[in-house]
Amino acid sequence: MELVNIEKLLEKYLNAETSIAEENELKYYFSGNNVAPHLQEYQTLFGYFSASKQEQFTKTIQLNSQKRNWKWLSVAASVVLLVSIYAGYNNYQKQKEAEQLYAQTIEHFETLSQSLNRGNVAIAQLQHFENTTNKIFK
């Protein structure tokens, strides 16, 4: 009767349908000496599980901890920040200088315009004088 029960449990075990209690019953059966001859091949399987539980890893594991050096990252970020501020400041200075040159150019054009307008007034007076002289001599 016990052999039929063990075969059923083994079939359930191979189909992954057993509970932990049923697996423990199989381990207990296969750890004994009176295993049926046609089930001898499973004795090594369950014997391996028992033996592997007792194994322990005794070597030390040397882990290479890769510690990030965040100091260099902060230095790099500071350098990038300073370069961008410097470039922005230079751009601002060039724009300011261009605006000043534009204002000076406008001022010079206004001065030139005033001088030309004075010359136009003088030419208009001369033109009036010439017209009057032409009327008299004709």
Residue 27's domain comprises: 2-53
Within a domain: residue 73? no
Burial class (CB in 10 A: 0-12, 13-18, 19+), 120: exposed
Residues 83 and 44 reside in one and the same domain: no
What are the pLDDT digits (tens) for 33-48?
Answer: 788 888 788 787 777 7
- Counting the structural domains of the chain, the total is 2
Residues 46 and 82 reside in one and the same domain: no
- The pTM assigned to this predicted structure is 0.39
d(CA 101, CA 109): 12
What are the pLDDT digits (tens) for 40-72?
Answer: 887 877 777 767 777 777 888 887 777 777 788
Q: What is the 3-state secondary structure (H, E, C) of 93-115?
A: HHHHHHHHHHHHHHHHHHHHHHH
Residues 39 and 87 reside in one and the same domain: no
Within a domain: residue 127? yes
Within a domain: residue 62? no
